C-alpha cells in the first residue's frame, strides 16, 4: 500500500482562496501586496491591513481564534467570510452615516434602506458560512470619515462600487452553485446601490462601461485599509 501523498504529489488547490490559505509562500506574497502584517484568515487579513501595532495584536488574536476551525479558511467558506468582512464594514458605515443625520427626506430614507440591505447581506452570509460547516469571521472595527453629506455620498459611491467589484472578482473561484447564485444576487444589489449613488453625486452609473471590472482580494483589501480602526 502506498503512503499518503506528499506536498509535491498531492493535488494542489486551484482557486486563489485555497492557495492563499494552504500555501505559505502564496499567503506571504499576498500579505505583502495587501500591505498587512500577516494573519491566518481573511478576517485577520483585513484587520492587519491597517498596519499599526495595536491592530496587529488584534489581528493576531482574531487569527488565533478563527484559525482553530479549518473550515474558516478554505474554499467557498473562505470566500464567503471574505465577503462577510466587507459587508460588516459596509453595514457599520451606513450605521454611522444614519447616526450622523446628514441626510433627510427621500435621500435619508434611501440611505436607511441601503443600510438595512447591507445588514441583511451580513445575516445571509453568516448563515451561509454556518450552512457550509464553517465559522463566521469576527466582525472588524471600522473607522469612517463622516464630515458632510457630499463627502459621505462620494464615499458611499466608492464603497458600493468596490463591493460590487469584490464579488465579481471571486465569482470564478466559487465552487458551490448555490453560493455562486447568492454571491451574484448580492453583487447585483451592490451595483444598483452604486448606480443610484452615482446619480446622487453626478458620477457615471457605469464607470467601467459596458462590462463591469472585477477586483482581486489584494486590491480590495488595500482599498479598505483606511477604514479599519
According to the model, what pLDDT value does residue 30 have? Answer: 40
Q: What stretches in the chain show pLDDT beneath 50? A: 1-22, 26-72
pLDDT at 98: 96
Tell me the CATH number for domain 16-227.
1.20.1260.10
Q: Which pLDDT belongs to residue 184? A: 94
Helix axis angle for 75-100 and 149-170, nearest 10°, is: 170
What integer pLDDT is reported at residue 221 of this predicted model? 87
pLDDT on residue 47: 32
Beta bridge partners of 228: 142
CA–CA gap between residue 89 and residue 166 (Å, rounded):
13
Amino acid at each position: 500500500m502506498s503512503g499518503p501523498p506528499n506536498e509535491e504529489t498531492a493535488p494542489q488547490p486551484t482557486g486563489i482562496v485555497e492557495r492563499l490559505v494552504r500555501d505559505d509562500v502564496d499567503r506571504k506574497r499576498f500579505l505583502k501586496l495587501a500591505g498587512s502584517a500577516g494573519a491566518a484568515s481573511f478576517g485577520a487579513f483585513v484587520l492587519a491591513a491597517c498596519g499599526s501595532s495595536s491592530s496587529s495584536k488584534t489581528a493576531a488574536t482574531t487569527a488565533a481564534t478563527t484559525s482553530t476551525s479549518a473550515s474558516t479558511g478554505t474554499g467557498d467558506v473562505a470566500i464567503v467570510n471574505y465577503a462577510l468582512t466587507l459587508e460588516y464594514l459596509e453595514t457599520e458605515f451606513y450605521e454611522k452615516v444614519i447616526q450622523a443625520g446628514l441626510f433627510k427626506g427621500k435621500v435619508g430614507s434611501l440611505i436607511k434602506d441601503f443600510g438595512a440591505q447591507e445588514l441583511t447581506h451580513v445575516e445571509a452570509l453568516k448563515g451561509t458560512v454556518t450552512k457550509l460547516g464553517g465559522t463566521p469571521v469576527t466582525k472588524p472595527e471600522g473607522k469612517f470619515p463622516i464630515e458632510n453629506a457630499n463627502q459621505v455620498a462620494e464615499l458611499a459611491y466608492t464603497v458600493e462600487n468596490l463591493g460590487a467589484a469584490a464579488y465579481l472578482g471571486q465569482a470564478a473561484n466559487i465552487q458551490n452553485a448555490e453560493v455562486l447564485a447568492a454571491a451574484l444576487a448580492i453583487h447585483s444589489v451592490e451595483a444598483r446601490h452604486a448606480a443610484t449613488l452615482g446619480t446622487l453625486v453626478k458620477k457615471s452609473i457605469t464607470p467601467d462601461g459596458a462590462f463591469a471590472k472585477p477586483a482581486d482580494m489584494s486590491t480590495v483589501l488595500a482599498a479598505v485599509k483606511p477604514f479599519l480602526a
